[in-house]
Amino acid sequence: MTATTTTAEKMPSPPRAAQSKVPGSYAGEKIIVASKLPMALELHIDEFRMEQRRDRSTTWEEKVAYRVGPIVTIAGTAFPIFPNGEMPEGVERPEVQAGYALTYNVDREFFERWLEQNKDTELVRNNLIFAHTKRDSVRSMAREHKDVDSGLGPIAHKMVDGEKIIVDRRVPKKSRQTQLQKFRDTANVDA
C-alpha cells in the first residue's frame, strides 16, 4: 500500500448481491385465497429430510418435515363476538362471499407450493380452499361451490311444534330418531 491510499481503498468491497431469489422471500404475483373453514388457517411450507432415529438397539431412517419460510394466515368465515354483540378490539370482520372468507395479497408462488404439498387433503380435494388472481373469478368460484359443507359449522336444527329437533346429517341417525321419538312421547303425554 502506498502512502496515498485512502481509508475507502483499505476497506474490503461488500459482497455481491445474490443472483437468485432468497428462500422465503415472496415478492411476486399476489392472489386472493378463499376459505370455507370457520377458523383462520396458518399455512406454511415444509421441507423434508431423512434423519436417522434410534430407540435402544434399533436404528431406522425416517422422513422428517421442517417448516421453512413464512407463515401465511388465511381468514376464516367465523369471528369472535362478545355477548353484547360487539367485536373485540383489533379484530376485523373478514370479507365473505357465498360462504367463503377472502384473503387478499397472498403470494402466488407460496400458495402453489402449499397446494402441491397438500393436494391429497380433504381441504384441497373438496374445494374448501382455493385461489385465483382476479376478484371476480374468486367470487364466481365461491358461488359455484357454495353448497360445499366443511362439516365444521353449527349443528342444524329444525323447529317442530316449538321444539328444536336435530336434523343435521353429522349426528347419527339413531340419535336423531331417539330425540324425535322422545319429543313425540312427551307431546302425547301432554295431550
Q: Which of 3-17, 52-66, 131-145 is predicted with the least confidence, judged by mean pLDDT?
A: 3-17
Cell representation of residue 18: 445474490
Q: Is residue 42 part of a domain?
A: yes
Question: Nearest 10 degrees: CA dihedral of 131, 134, 138, 143?
Answer: -160
140 shares its domain with 161:
no
Domain tally, the chain: 2
Residue 124: other Cβ atoms inside 10 A: 16
The pLDDT assigned to 150 comes to: 80
101 shares its domain with 41:
yes
49 shares its domain with 135:
yes
Q: Which domain holds residue 68?
A: 27-144
185 shares its domain with 137:
no
131 shares its domain with 47:
yes
pTM above 0.85, yes or no: no
pLDDT band of residue 74 (cuts 50, 70, 90) is very high
The terminus-to-terminus CA distance of the chain in angstroms comes to: 111
